[in-house]
Amino acid sequence: MDNVKKALITGIAGQDGSYLTELLLSKGYEVYGIIRWDSIFTTQRIDHLYQDPHIKGTRLFLKHGDLTDSASIIKLITEIKPDEIYHLGAQSHVRVSFEMPEYTVNTNALGTLRILEAIRISKLPIKFYMAASSEMFGGINSPQNENTPFCPKSPYACSKVFGYDITKLYREAYGIFAANGIFYNHESPRRGDTFVTKKITRGIARIKAGLDKKLYLGNLDAKRDWGFAPEYIEAMYSILQQPKPDDFVIATGESCSVKGFLEKAFDYAGLGDYQQYVEIDPYYYRPSEVNVLIGDSSKAKEKLGWKSKINFNELAKIMIDADFRKYGLTPPGEGDGILKEKFPNRWWKVD
Ligand code: NAP
Ligand code: GDD
């Protein structure tokens, strides 16, 4: 078993962590994931992968830890001695970061530093992936690429700029294989319920099922470059398999407004005009907004051979089919067809 690669994932129970776990297990890795202590299980997204560690041959192990607790991070890294660390754990909600700026910065910025310090002190040849974000650009100068200056517009974005910079610094100062993925919004049926695409597709399914009458949203004019999460996970893996550590923008190159996503989603679900169901609640506005994000992934195309296959229209269909199933409704089915056609060798479980 000595040749088996070990990966440690922070944020394993999140959207991306769950897909990455599936990808790495399919590639023969032993996967260790950090979960936060809670009085209830919050591992629903990886429950289908989890096995009792007493069973021989188990390759997924969950360990308690927290990005705000240096000792737990140092202990896990020195004990596990991973070949690769995928650092996905974060307080990842932009609006929440205005409500909890200190916690967000502690977790996202200092959490990243804590891991890098643990790697440096361990002297192990660990490869490190940092989940940086298009939010760092603040929507200036579209489309953005790896050379676009940052203009963070939220505590979340500021914390990610620190994470990005400190990752680069540890690469340059200490020769650590440390790479940044500057990812644009990527969504899936496993997306957290409070992010706008999932809030819309879940809201539509609940309206269809007769559970809700209205869906309350904030700024409908903001534009995002929305892609499909499993594709982005393949890029993440590929970034750590490069001969040299580097930073990459990962995006579809297409942008759509929240309004545009609403129109497509309501139409596909057979509910017609979204305006009959959607009400604006200023509670969901942000103190400062990123108006437009569009990414230029030319470097990823050239060096990683990566290009997205799913656009926002197809994404809405995939997510609605999944949410219809979740609420006991018969899905329209086009989303399932798109998955079969575009991903014949899927490595993830369809929700
Ligand atoms: P997500 O679903 O919100 O998952 C975040 C994970 O981080 C959760 O598992 C959460 O644990 C964990 N976490 C939060 N605070 C923690 C702490 N103090 N200690 C340890 N773990 C903690 O996020 P995602 O969409 O998968 O995104 C993954 C990463 O990519 C994040 O860093 C995010 O900021 C970044 N990113 C995401 C996108 C996107 O569009 N999805 C785009 C660019 C960058 P619990 O399960 O216990 O809540
Ligand atoms: N969440 C939310 N809820 N957003 C809304 C709502 C609502 O009710 N109504 C309108 N929006 C708008 C937001 O103002 C924002 O402009 C846009 O929808 C997208 O919001 P989110 O889905 O919350 O995502 P985000 O773009 O703020 O952040 C996500 O993407 C980043 C990458 O660009 C997160 O995944 C971040 O972690 C990630 O870094």
Question: Mean pLDDT, the chain, as a whole number?
Answer: 97
Three-state DSSP at 286 gives coil
Cis peptide before 331 (omega within 30 of 0): no
Ligand 1: residues with CB < 6 A are 10-11, 13-17, 34, 36, 42, 66-68, 88-92, 107, 131, 133, 183, 185-186, 192
Closest alpha carbon to 180 in 118, 226, 112: 112
Q: Where are the beta strands (DSSP E) in the chain?
A: 6-10, 30-35, 60-64, 84-87, 127-133, 178-183, 186-187, 215-217, 223-224, 227-228, 248-250, 256-257, 278-280
Dump pLDDT digits (tens) for 130-183. Answer: 999 999 999 988 999 999 999 999 999 999 999 999 999 999 999 999 999 999
Compute, in angstroms, the gap from residue 87 CA to the centroid of ligand 1: 9
Query: Looking at residue 2, what is its pLDDT?
Result: 64
* Fold match, 6-186+226-250 / 191-224+255-290+310-342: no
DSSP at 266: H
Spans in the chain with pLDDT lower than 70: 1-2
Nearest ligand 2 atom, CA 198: 22
Class of domain 6-186+226-250: alpha beta
Q: Does domain 191-224+255-290+310-342 have CATH number 3.40.640.10?
A: no
Nearest ligand 2 atom, CA 90: 37
Dump pLDDT digits (tens) for 234-263. Answer: 999 999 999 999 999 999 999 999 999 999
Query: Looking at residue 168, what is its pLDDT?
Result: 98
Ligand 2: residues with CB < 6 A are 92, 94, 133-135, 184-185, 194-196, 199, 217-219, 222, 224, 258, 284, 286, 289, 293
Query: Looking at residue 141, what is its pLDDT?
Result: 87
Compute, in angstroms, the gap from residue 1 CA to the centroid of ligand 2: 43
Query: Looking at residue 138, what is its pLDDT?
Result: 97
Give the residue, by CA position, lying nearest to ligand 1 atom 33. Answer: 92
Name all contacts of 118-124 with Cβ < 8 Å and 24+ positions apart.
118/70, 118/73, 118/74, 118/77, 118/78, 119/77, 119/85, 119/170, 119/176, 120/170, 120/174, 120/176, 121/74, 122/77, 122/78, 122/81, 124/77, 124/81
The domain ranges of the chain are: 6-186+226-250, 191-224+255-290+310-342
Residues annotated as catalytic (active site), given as ranges: 133, 135, 156
Q: Would the pTM count as exceeding 0.85?
A: yes
